[in-house]
Structure 1
Amino acid sequence: MRENRRSKLSVLAGASGLALSAVTATPTLADDVPESPREVEMAADVKVVEGIAPALGPAAGPAAGPAGAAEAATASDTCLGSTAAYGSSGCFQHNADIVWAGDTKKDGMSAAVGVYTDYGRAEEVCVNNLGVNTWAGCDKDYRESGNVRLRVLRYDGDTGKFYQPEAWSGWVPVDGKY
């Protein structure tokens, strides 16, 4: 009888803990509208790189953007570390070291994807100023034995300032091998 009561209490305690963690750790969704944009502090020496539109054709990788990958894209063209926040999406294409920034909201701002490494390379931000519903890529060359982490947010090109909401990816291996 005592064992049965202990089992019930354990299940109840576990369910309560799970419910509490779901309530307190729910991330902001990509479609949640921010109340008002809040400025994000960036390092003074952060390098802002304008992304370019993907080339069309089978060798171009994800020509329709990382999520919609071109019909000829292979598994090696897969974008890793996909991350999204209001108005911005981003991912890393490991086989070409391309950082992709997708703009998903028509709000006068651009999508921005900050890239951090685990080996001390200076932070860079890939900005998509091509407009809503577009993808832009920044072709980089990262150390194959390293990892990158992505930070997506909004960017106002007129003021040069970055805004929340933002989201972070986990660490992504540059060589694509987890």
Structure 2
Amino acid sequence: MRENRRIKVGVLVGVSALAFSVLTGASALADGPADGLQEVEMPAGVRIVEGLAPGAGVDMPSLEDEADAPVMSMAAAKAAPAANTCLGTTAAYGAKGCFQHNGDIVWAGDTQKDGMSAAVGVYTDYGRAPEVCINRLGVNTWATCDKDYRETGNVRLRVLRYDGDTGKFYQPESWSGWIPVDGKY
């Protein structure tokens, strides 16, 4: 009985956090960065991985702004996500990212024609070195980086811009919450 109550409270907290992130993250998706792009320091040893174009017929996430989308219902939060569901969708100026738990695929979407690339940094809660998936395919495209994370771990996404000419990263940036690698919240 007590375990069931904890699960219900946990789901309620998760849905509340999702709703809050949707409401507060919408301002980061403005037409342009308010104060211009600012350089960001990445942790030492970050590995940069060039994303690949998704294969033909692959069900891709939307690049559209989801700020107006309805918040997920409590019943939907309890259900296990579909195999191709993109979790932890996070966006900032010019970039969007998410994590597909089936196959451990990181998606990096470029949403701004500004000569820069979308970048999605991936951090784990178990000490694996961070990596960044770069989308150099151009505006309105998705790139994928196929990884292999520990199924009992969690990942966190950091979405920002990348200038391939200089090798530098830029904000505005946005962070996801912790996403379970197995897709089970």
Q: TM-score, normalised by structure 2?
A: 0.74
SS at match of 1:67: coil
1:60-71 counterparts in 2 under 5 A? Answer: 60=58, 62=59, 65-67=60-62
Verify: 1:177 aligned to 2:176, yes or no. no
1:31 Cα deviation from its structure 2 partner: 2.4
1:44 Cα deviation from its structure 2 partner: 2.6
Hey, what's the Cα distance between the residues in 2 that align with 1:55 and 1:118? 30
Note the alpha carbon deviations across 1:69-90, whole angstroms, 9 max, x for none: xxxxx92100000000000000
1:20-99 counterparts in 2 under 5 A? Answer: 26-27=24-25, 28-34=27-33, 35-57=35-57, 60=58, 62=59, 65-67=60-62, 75-99=82-106
Instruction: Give the number of aligned pairs.
Output: 145
Once superposed, what is the RMSD of the aligned Cα atoms? 1.8
SS at match of 2:143: strand
1:6-21 counterparts in 2 under 5 A? Answer: none
SS at match of 1:107: coil
- The structure with the larger Rg is 1
User: What are structure 2's unaligned runs of at least 5 residues?
Assistant: 1-19, 64-80
Q: Taking every aligned residue pair, what percent have the same amino acid on both sides?
A: 73
Note the alpha carbon deviations across 1:68-112, whole angstroms, 9 max, x for none: 7xxxxx921000000000000000000010000000000010000
CA contact (8 A) 1:31 1:87 kept: no
Hey, what's the Cα distance between the residues in 1 that align with 2:30 and 2:142? 17
Candidates 162, 168, 173, aligned match of 2:175: 168
Which residue number in structure 2 is paired with residue 10 of structure 1?
A: none
1:43 Cα deviation from its structure 2 partner: 1.6
CA contact (8 A) 1:81 1:92 kept: yes
Which residue number in structure 1 is paired with residue 135 of structure 2?
A: 128
Which residue number in structure 2 is paired with residue 3 of structure 1?
A: none
Hey, what's the Cα distance between the residues in 2 that align with 1:67 and 1:143? 27
User: What are structure 1's unaligned runs of at least 5 residues?
Assistant: 1-21, 69-73
CA contact (8 A) 1:30 1:88 kept: no
Q: TM-score, normalised by structure 1?
A: 0.77
Note the alpha carbon deviations across 1:12-41, whole angstroms, 9 max, x for none: xxxxxxxxxx9xx94432124113210001
CA contact (8 A) 1:116 1:123 kept: yes
CA contact (8 A) 2:28 2:172 kept: no
